């Protein structure tokens, strides 16, 4: 629980899945005959499901997000989805540059990226480059549980906000620091972005076709999201530690190392055998056929055959069961040795059918297969609809915006979206007046000096 705080009532999102209705059950003759029996004791009244949902696991936890863009702040987004109060501290002039990153909307201070990723926040403007702003910020830290920042290492210290200083005003504070290369090491002061982290970590080296220019591993800043996920895990662990000891701690995540951590066996393969994994295009060194294949109607499917049994099923879907015989390609080692031949057989078969036909035949034989979806495909997909993966939320000054919904799905305490990215400084007065107890006159003074 934040110092001096109380659980904040959250608003139920219109995107939450409705409670499962209990189907009506027909009354049997035996049951009907028993209606004259004495009534059983009245059952305990059940709590309103909406109230239960408002009691999210992180209710009462206050998070300060003082970072920019995604790496780190996305961890605060996750915490906010499960009940934490997230205060976005921004510079009074312009705020987080993420507000201007991505597709513009009818709101001058909000792109679609901002609306989606700055969800569940209140915006508070404070200039940390001025001493009065630092003092105001420390008052806020004293009443909070978690601080998230992602500036170049040394920046917070230059502002007078070192970890020892922050700890002195709040010994229970948990601080997440996300940067390109981490807080230590010879590269710590270098600028860090997801694109650079993808390169430095080894991910970009693996993306593309053999002998060709390495490509971007998708256009999304994966490193920022991955680093934030590790950061969120660290925060939850630190909260558990604080429950036991009362002490906070510092969490240090380098974007590059978060990406490096998910690259499976490249480190042990090089350490033991000196093997350097190279670019493999749409395939994989571990299995064949295992990649992307173009259909007759110009669409694409992904097929994964990582075991002999899976290939046997694919051969049946092709109506060529002999391909899976021991004499041909029924053994993984033989398939890998004849990679080009097996891939060509698959390419020709997929290319002779439409995507729907390939999907139908593979699914009938339980072959792992999936379409390469565009976002248009996802909007029309029945599974996306059934899972509620696309949330429709009203955004101030913009209208309805579709954003990815909350994950993971929890059975008892599902997360929620209360609001999309806020307007700049929308909660400054509220937070300073109600949380910090600063007078209206002093707030007016701070505004006049452009501290807030």
Q: What is the pLDDT of residues 128-166, one digit of tens each?
A: 999 999 999 999 999 999 999 999 999 999 999 999 999
Q: Which domain holds residue 417?
A: 53-262+390-448
Question: Are 253 and 365 in a shared domain?
Answer: no
pTM of the model: 0.86
Q: Is residue 5 part of a domain?
A: no
Judgement on whether residues 197 and 57 belong to the same structural domain of the protein? yes
Q: Both tokens of residue 182?
A: 């981490």
Give domain status of residue 185, yes or no: yes
Same domain, 112 and 254: yes
Of 145, 224, 308, 377, the catalytic one is: 224
- For residue 224, indicate whether it is catalytic: yes
Q: What is the pLDDT of residues 90-125, one digit of tens each?
A: 999 999 999 999 999 999 999 999 999 999 999 999
Same structural domain, 367 and 431:
no
Q: Closest by alpha carbon to 177, among 71, 265, 264, 262?
A: 71
323, 343, 371: which is the final residue of a domain?
371
Instruction: Give the pLDDT confidence score for residue 54 in this predicted structure.
Output: 60
Can you give the pLDDT at residue 285?
85
Same domain? For 325 and 209 the reply is no
pLDDT of residue 45: 53
CA torsion angle 267 272 277 283 (round to 10): -100
The residue among 341, 371, 401 that closes a domain is 371
Dist. CA 178–CA 197, nearest whole Å: 12
Q: What is the pLDDT of residue 11?
A: 35
Q: Which residue has the higher pLDDT, 55 or 344?
A: 344
Q: Which of 46-50, 188-192, 254-258 has the highest mean pLDDT?
A: 254-258
Considering 371, 400, 419, which residue would you say is the last residue of a domain?
371
Look at residue 10 and tell me whether its pLDDT is greater than 50.
Answer: no
Q: What pLDDT score was predicted for residue 5?
A: 38
- Whether 227 and 78 map to the same domain: the answer is yes
Mean pLDDT of 159-175: 98
What is the reported pLDDT for 316? 98
Is residue 21 in some structural domain?
A: no
**248 and 321 both lie in a single domain:** no
User: At 283, is the pLDDT very low, low, confident or very high (cuts 50, 70, 90)?
Assistant: confident
pLDDT in tens, 12-71: 333 333 333 333 333 333 233 333 333 444 445 555 544 544 689 999 999 999 999 999
Average pLDDT over residues 74-98: 97
Query: Residue 8 above 60 pLDDT?
Result: no
Sequence-distant (6+) residues with CB within 8 A of 61 are 1, 2, 79, 83, 84, 85, 145, 146, 239
pLDDT of the residue at 41? 45
Residue 30, domain member (yes or no) = no
336 belongs to a structural domain? yes
Does the residue 377 lie in any domain?
A: no
Domain match, 314 and 395 both: no
High-pLDDT (> 70) share of the chain, %: 88
Residue 333 in domain: yes
Of the two residues 1 and 437, the one the predictor is more confident about is 437
The predicted structure's pLDDT at residue 55: 83
In a domain, 268, yes or no: no
Distance CA 288, CA 282 (A): 11
Tallying the residues shown for the chain, one arrives at 452
pLDDT at 51: 54
| Mean pLDDT estimate for the chain | 90
- Are the C-beta atoms of residues 351 and 299 closer than 8 Å to each other? no
pLDDT confidence of residue 1: 45
Are both 137 and 198 inside the same structural domain?
A: yes
The answer on pLDDT for 291 being more than 90 is yes
Of 33-42, 161-170, 200-209, 383-392, the range with the lowest mean pLDDT is 33-42
Residue 219: give its domain's CATH number. 3.40.50.10540
Q: What is the CA radius of gyration of the chain?
A: 27
CA 343, 348, 353, 354 torsion: positive or negative? positive
Percent of the chain with pLDDT over 90: 86
Structural domain total, the chain:
2
Selection from 230, 233, 201 nearest residue 217 by Cα: 201
Confidence of residue 284 (pLDDT cuts 50, 70, 90): confident
CATH for 309: 3.30.1540.10
pLDDT recorded at residue 48: 53
Asked if residue 361 and residue 395 are part of one domain, the reply reads no
**Same domain? 213 vs 312:** no
What are the strands of the beta sheet with 174-179, ordered from one edge?
A: 121-125, 85-90, 62-65, 146-149, 174-179, 250-254
Same domain? For 112 and 180 the reply is yes
């Amino acid at each position: 629980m934040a110092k001096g705080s109380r659980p904040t009532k959250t608003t139920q999102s219109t995107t939450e899945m409705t409670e499962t209705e209990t189907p009506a059950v027909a009354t049997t003759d035996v049951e009907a005959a028993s209606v004259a029996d004495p009534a059983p004791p009245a059952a305990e009244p059940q709590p309103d499901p909406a109230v239960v949902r408002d009691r999210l696991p992180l209710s009462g936890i206050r998070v300060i997000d003082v970072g920019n863009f995604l790496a780190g702040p996305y961890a605060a987004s996750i915490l906010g989805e499960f009940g934490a109060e997230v205060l976005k501290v921004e510079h009074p002039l312009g705020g987080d540059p993420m507000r201007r990153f991505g597709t513009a909307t009818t709101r001058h201070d909000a792109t679609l990226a901002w609306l989606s990723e700055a969800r569940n926040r209140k915006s508070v403007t404070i200039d940390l480059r001025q001493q009065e702003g630092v003092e105001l910020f420390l008052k806020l830290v004293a009443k909070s549980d978690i601080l998230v920042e992602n500036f170049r290492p040394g920046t917070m210290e230059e502002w007078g906000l070192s970890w020892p200083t922050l700890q002195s005003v709040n010994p229970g504070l948990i601080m997440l620091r996300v940067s390109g290369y981490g807080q230590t090491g010879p590269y710590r002061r270098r600028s860090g972005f997801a694109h650079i982290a993808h390169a430095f970590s080894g991910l970009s080296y693996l993306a593309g076709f053999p002998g060709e220019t390495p490509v971007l591993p998708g256009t999304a800043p994966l490193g920022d999201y991955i680093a934030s996920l590790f950061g969120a895990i660290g925060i939850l662990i630190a909260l558990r530690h604080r429950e036991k000891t009362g002490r906070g701690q510092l969490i240090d995540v380098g974007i590059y190392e978060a990406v490096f951590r998910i690259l499976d066996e490249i480190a042990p393969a090089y350490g033991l055998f000196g093997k350097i994994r190279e670019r493999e295009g749409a395939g994989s060194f571990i299995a064949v056929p295992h990649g992307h294949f173009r259909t007759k109607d110009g669409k694409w499917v992904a097929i994964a055959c990582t075991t002999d049994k899976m290939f046997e099923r694919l051969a049946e879907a092709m109506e060529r069961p002999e391909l899976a015989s021991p004499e041909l390609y029924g053994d993984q080692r033989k398939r890998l040795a004849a990679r080009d031949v097996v891939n060509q057989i698959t390419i020709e078969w997929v290319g002779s059918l439409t995507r729907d036909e390939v999907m139908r035949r593979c699914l009938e034989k339980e072959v792992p297969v999936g379409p390469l979806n565009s976002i248009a495909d996802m909007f029309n997909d029945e599974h996306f609809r059934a899972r509620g993966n696309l949330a429709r939320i009203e955004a101030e000054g913009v209208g309805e915006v579709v954003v990815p919904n909350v994950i993971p799905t929890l059975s008892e305490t599902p997360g929620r979206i209360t609001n999309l990215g806020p307007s700049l400084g929308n909660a400054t007065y509220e937070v300073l007046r109600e949380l910090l107890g600063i007078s209206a006159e002093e707030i007016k003074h701070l505004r006049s000096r452009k501290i807030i």
